[in-house]
Amino acid sequence: MPVAIKRCALIDERQKKEFGQEMLILSQINHKNIVKLVGCCLEVEVPMLVYEFIPNGTLFELIHGKNQALQISFSTLLRIAHEAAEGLNFLHSYTSPPIIHGDVKTANILLDENYMAKVSDFGASILAPSDKEQYVTMVQGTCGYLDLEYMLTCQLTEKSDVFSFGVILLVVLTGQEPLKLNGPETERSLSSNFLSAMKENNLDAVLPIHVKGQESNELIRGLAELAKHYLDMCGSNRPSMKEIADELGRLRKLSLHPWVQIDAEMETQSLLGGASTASFQKEGAASGYPTQEGENLPMNPSSSYYAR
């Protein structure tokens, strides 16, 4: 069985502690949307973790990097985002104590041979403490994805992961990187630009033409409203990852099967404050090879190793 090796880049006590924490966390997880740890070697000069091999790179590479030339449909990107949300929901809701990832970003979402999402890299993760005073920690993560509330309070919570996932949904919607180092300072942050566009009711300013052509305005507007909710400056106002996974699941079903009518009286309240998700429907399908779920996958898959 092919495997991927993650080696410690810097040999110091902090790096060794992070490797040990990652091993501790992954050893208690078994979920289809989380990368599987199959072995480790820590009692050596250069610690190593051994993972299942994930052949198709990362979501970052699919959108921005070496795999971006592949003809990927928006429905497939939405499915990958939904699967990542399911993996994070498992960490938050089905482990005891809950696990906070701490560095949610497109580069930490691996893609297997079927382009299924696998959440990876738990070096910044923590077990949710029962005492709030234990939350105080050194801020770490990736610029552009970092929860602004976490940066101010140094308290990493499940809602910090929610904020970072909101940025991932923005990247899926816009195709842009979360942080631009060039250009005017006011335009460098994708989340700030997006929130400004939403406030001015000018979502088209940040959406690429191909997304507007593939999906209905109702679906895109619905996803944008959800992303806005995930990026709320106050963490307590953000939904849980369970609510996010459930909502994205409903939107995906309606996108793939717009002819299915959902009884409004049976529909639960959505995260948008009561609006039924039945209104978010897809207008036609994108080109590509359909899967058994009716989505489209890249035509020319390529491979990359997950190793450092």
The catalytic residues are 103
- Helix and strand numbers (H, E) in the chain are 9, 9
| H/E element, 91 | helix 74-93
Angle (deg, nearest 10), helices 74-93 and 241-256:
150
DSSP state of 99: E
Task: Report the phi/psi class of residue 70: left, alpha or beta, with left for phi > 0 and alpha for psi in -120 to 50.
Answer: beta
Count other Cβ atoms within 10 Å, centred on residue 227: 23
Using CA of residue 273, residue 277, residue 282, residue 286, what is the dihedral sign?
Answer: positive
Please report, as a single letter, which amino acid is at residue 138.
M
Could you tell me how far CA 189 lies from the centroid of its own chain? 18
Q: Do 305 and 255 meet the contact criterion of CB atoms below 8 Å apart?
A: no
Instruction: Look at residues 68, 63, 55, 104 and name the one whose alpha carbon lies nearest to residue 84.
Output: 104
Q: Which residues contact 145 (CB under 8 A, 6 or more apart)?
A: 103, 104, 105, 163, 164, 167, 168, 178
Round to whole Å and give the CA distance between 228 and 40. Answer: 40
Residue written as tokens 């779920």?
293
